[in-house]
Amino acid sequence: MTSFTAGTGYVCPECGLDYETVKPLDTIRAVRSYPYRYRTLFKELYQQEPDAEGIMRRRPAEGTWSALEYTAHVAHMIDQMAPTIRRIIVEDNPLIPSFDSEERVDVEGYNDLEITEALARLESACADMGMTLDCLSAEDWARTGQFTFGERDALTMTRNAVHEGSHHLRDIEHILEPMRTYKPESDAW
């Protein structure tokens, strides 16, 4: 699980994403890329696997979410981030409530969603986040909000959204790979 508490100067020990290397324009491009990147990964799986639906819902190990659960989680995190960024921009250092992402997986029934619904949620959340980020001025990126884990600026929280999307896409790739079986699309060379 990635850390929602990551601050300035954070480098993820699992995926290696260095927050300081992610510039404001990078965040907009990355967030807007997630629907395509996730959809492409799943499209490939569905083209190669007769049991793609089952594979998407299968948890590979105790304490590890399924590919579908990771997708719905990313959609939810990015969906929560856009209004958070808007509050940071229009309010002076607002207090932003946190939520338990582990609890949400079960409460929201992420693994019971249709993959098309999870992807639609991701697409909607990323579109909203992208529009929100498009409207930020140079000064807005430095505005701050208070979280249970401390004060963070809009850029750091946006970098966290980028981290969520890229880290969990990597997680999904890792959990799907051993479940796949190789089937050449054609015998032609």
Residue 178 is predicted with a pLDDT of 78
- Tokens representing 39? 């959809």
pLDDT at position 185 is 54
Q: What is the structure's pLDDT at 143?
A: 97
Q: What is the pTM of this model?
A: 0.88
Give the pair of three-digit tokens for residue 55: 């594979």
What's the confidence (pLDDT) of residue 5? 52
- pLDDT of amino acid 43: 93
Cβ atoms of 60 and 175 closer than 8 Å: yes
pLDDT in tens for each of the 189 residues of the chain?
344 455 567 899 999 999 999 999 999 999 999 999 999 999 999 898 889 999 999 999 998 999 999 999 999 999 999 999 999 999 999 999 987 777 888 888 999 999 999 999 999 999 999 999 999 999 999 999 999 989 999 999 999 999 999 999 999 999 988 775 544 454 443
The token pair that represents 42 in the structure block: 């799943």
Question: Distance between CA atoms of 78 and 158, rounded to whole angstroms?
Answer: 9
Contacts of 13 (CB under 8 A, 6+ apart): none
CA distance 138 to 135: 10
Contact predicate 27/161, CB 8 Å: yes
The full set of domains in the chain, from first to last, is: 22-179 (1.20.120.450)
pLDDT value of residue 13: 95
Nearest CA to 131 out of 30, 28, 36 is that of: 28
